Amino acid sequence: MKKVLRGAKRRLSAGKIALRILTVFLVTVMLVLLTLLAAIFLLEKGPSTAARDMFVSTVRETSAVGFLANFFLTDAEIAAIENTPVEDVYVPTDTTLINIESPAERAADPSGHWTLSDLGLTDEDDDGIILDKVAGEGYSGFMLIVRNPARVIMGSVVESFGHRGYTVAELVAHFDAVAGMNAGGFQDPNGQGNGSLPNSTLVFDGTLYYDSWGNGTGFAGFDDKHILHVGQYSRQDIIDNNIQYGAAFGPVLVANGVAKDDSFFNEAVNPRTAIGQRADGAVLMLAIDGRQVTSLGARYSDLVKVMLRYGAVNACNMDGGSSSMMWYQGGYVNNTSSVVGIRPIPSSWLVLKEEAVSNG
């Protein structure tokens, strides 16, 4: 009888231990949630309007956690914070500002290596591509510079729209390219989209898709002369300018050599992707990491500064966040901010092999 009682006591002790562990776990979760709510309250209702605006703009740019902005702010208050001006007037890209090297000029390079003297960069492996590390206050990433703009196309598997998306690596492989990065946005309800359906204008091989859904705050596209156009382009504008490859997202960062005013940008800090073009025709592909200890992310105004530093005449922001990825020389050069791994997308900017380009 005593042995049975001792066994019951042992079982009761084990039950108590399990209950205590569960209690500690639940209390810890509650404390974490209360701490999080307190932090959000301090950001949204605290004395710093700059911190509030940055927090609201940053989370509102995401699909998964945008709801955090609504905890202690009304829809009207959020709308007031997000009320940045949008330039919706069509301003033609001045194509005379871009002077693309001819194949003969590229072949006759006397240095033996392609060199960008203004940047102090040299294409050591002679593949017509330079990868450069980018760093600024609170962010880091990579700039890919492609000498021949004819190599840059839109990578999309249009027959898969609405069915499945592809990672940047998969799109690079599908088009037998050597480099790539994400381009336009896509429908992503609650952060659960499969990356298959563009949510704004996309141009692939001269054909427009989803243009009835608009251009967001900016469109970027290459014409048949491989010149990058940026701005608010309507369907007819795209047709009139012979745009062959393009995607909408925005905002425009630099247009016709002039940087956009900071009043057009919010203060959100996130992973970023952008595309631009230099006066010599070289294409600038930028990917900034974010939501990481070593790189919190960049503002749009940061992208403007980076693009100008690399000589951009025209540049436009593309989809960012957890979609911001760049592939080069067999692997991703930057780090994903997604907790579920590399995300599938419907569109990408790809760099073809030099020998695959016949008209550049």
How many other CB atoms are there within 10 angstroms of residue 127's CB atom? 17
Per-residue pLDDT at 25: 81
Per-residue pLDDT at 307: 98
> Residue 89: CB partners within 8 Å, gap ≥ 6?
232
Q: Which one is predicted more confidently, 50 or 170?
A: 170
Average pLDDT of the segment spanning 121-125:
94
Tokens of 211: 């243009």
Q: Which one is predicted more confidently, 45 or 127?
A: 127
Is the CB of residue 269 less than 8 Å from the CB of residue 138? Answer: yes
Evaluate if residue 206 carries a pLDDT over 70: yes
Closest residue by Cα to residue 201 from 167, 172, 166, 230: 230
Evaluate if residue 6 carries a pLDDT over 60: no
Per-residue DSSP letter, 299: -
Evaluate if residue 286 carries a pLDDT over 80: yes
Q: In what order do the strands lie in the sheet with 326-328?
A: 152-155, 348-352, 177-182, 326-328, 331-332
pLDDT-derived band at 281 (thresholds 50, 70, 90) equals very high
Separation in Å, CA 97 to CA 4, 222, 281, 306: 92, 14, 9, 19
pTM: 0.86
Q: What is the pLDDT of residues 247-258, one digit of tens each?
A: 999 999 999 999
Any idea which of 11-15, 24-28, 183-187 has the lowest mean pLDDT?
11-15
Q: How far apart are CA 304 and CA 316, in angstroms?
A: 9
Query: What is the residue-averaged pLDDT of the chain?
Result: 87
Block residue for tokens 């012979």: 242
pLDDT-derived band at 111 (thresholds 50, 70, 90) equals low
337 strand-pairing partners: none
Radius of gyration, CA atoms only, the chain:
24
Per-residue pLDDT at 14: 72
Per-residue pLDDT at 172: 98
Evaluate if residue 156 carries a pLDDT over 80: yes
* Helix (H), strand (E) at residue 326: strand 326-328
Evaluate if residue 197 carries a pLDDT over 60: yes
Any idea which of 54-63, 308-317, 345-354 has the lowest mean pLDDT?
54-63
Is the CB of residue 230 less than 8 Å from the CB of residue 219? Answer: yes
Q: How far apart are CA 88 and CA 218, in angstroms?
A: 9
Per-residue DSSP letter, 101: P
Q: How far apart are CA 341 and CA 195, in angstroms?
A: 13
Q: Which one is predicted more confidently, 178 or 68?
A: 178
Question: Which phi and psi (to 5°) does residue 305 adopt?
Answer: -60, -40
Per-residue pLDDT at 89: 80
pLDDT-derived band at 34 (thresholds 50, 70, 90) equals confident
Average pLDDT of the segment spanning 332-339:
90
Q: Which one is predicted more confidently, 76 or 204?
A: 204
Q: What is the pLDDT of residues 221-279, one digit of tens each?
A: 999 999 999 999 999 999 999 999 999 999 999 999 999 988 888 878 999 999 999 99
Instruction: Find the helix packing angle between 2-45 and 49-60, rounded to 10°.
Output: 110
Per-residue pLDDT at 1: 46
Per-residue pLDDT at 80: 67
Degrees, nearest 5: CA angle 222-226-228: 40
Per-residue pLDDT at 35: 80
Evaluate if residue 290 carries a pLDDT over 60: yes
